[in-house]
Amino acid sequence: MSTPHNNAKKGDIAETVIMPGDPLRAKFIAENYLENAVCYNEVRGMYGYTGTYKNKRISVQGSGMGMPSMAIYSWELFNEYDVQNIIRTGTVGAISDSVNLRDIVIAMSASTNSAYASQYNLPGTYAPTASWKLLSSAVKITEKMGLNFHVGNILSTDAFYDDSDSLAKWKKMGVIGVEMETAALYMNAARTGKNALCILTVSDCPLKNLSTSAEERQSSFRDMMETALETALII
């Protein structure tokens, strides 16, 4: 079987998928961490690979940028390929004063300004949250690795270039960082009864005008990648 966005066949994709936004980061993880990695997807340049990490079968798949793209790829993985767990590995902009460049952020929940939840016709405001078994495992691993990490509420926004002063308002409510995919992933996981977690590296601090390079974002955030892979082993 295949979809308009993924030409993998049934069985090509493991039950647990590491999911960076950048398809080149998916390629980097496959080439540097997976043994016997096989590329199962190149449609639209959105690379997907399956291999083994410490003898466990794991896949890594790009999601693209933004909630619409994340929603498409994660929905298909959960519903068409029987994936049970997705661990997003991406970048986040820190808005909390206590969060710094290259720190790890584990998203316990994801506030959003997206209308993605409107499709469910819920009689209130839905709060997208991580799967506890993935979250608790990732926290233990980051503690064991001795990494600088933060667990909290992040903002998933539809606008990369935001023509407003909204980040300061989210900061007042304790939101620690901003990115563009997590809320859609958590909602898809909830709707399908599957598991999801986002482990992020701080790539920039927009309120402090600090940032990392594009090359760093693509290939050098190894602490995040290794945390995700080690979490995948526990599932």
Q: Is residue 1 part of a domain?
A: no
Q: Is residue 186 part of a domain?
A: yes
Q: Which residues pair with 27 in a beta bridge?
A: none
Q: Is residue 144 part of a domain?
A: yes
Contact in structure between 5 and 76 (CB atoms under 8 Å): yes
Mean pLDDT of 126-151: 97
Least reliable range by pLDDT among 69-78, 81-90, 145-154, 159-168: 159-168
Q: Is the pTM value of this prediction over 0.85? A: yes
Structural domain boundaries, residue 82 = 16-234
Q: Is residue 3 part of a domain?
A: no
Domain containing 21 — which CATH number? 3.40.50.1580
Query: pLDDT tens-digit profile of 173-232?
Result: 999 999 999 999 999 999 999 999 999 999 999 988 888 887 776 666 999 999 999 999
Catalytic site residue from 12, 22, 103, 204: 204
Tell me whether residue 204 is one of the annotated catalytic residues.
yes
Q: Is residue 209 part of a domain?
A: yes
Query: pLDDT tens-digit profile of 141-165?
Result: 999 999 999 999 999 999 989 888 8
Q: What is the pLDDT of residue 164?
A: 83
Query: SS3 breakdown of the chain: % helix, strand, coil, rounded to 5?
Result: 35, 30, 35
Mean pLDDT of 2-8: 89
Q: Is residue 154 part of a domain?
A: yes
Q: What is the pLDDT of residue 235?
A: 85
Helix or strand holding residue 87 (H, E): strand 85-94
Is the pLDDT reported for residue 9 higher than 80?
yes
- The count of structural domains within the chain is 1
Give buried/exposed letters for 88-110 (b at 16+ CB in 10 A, else e).
bbbbbbbbbeebeebbbbbbbbb
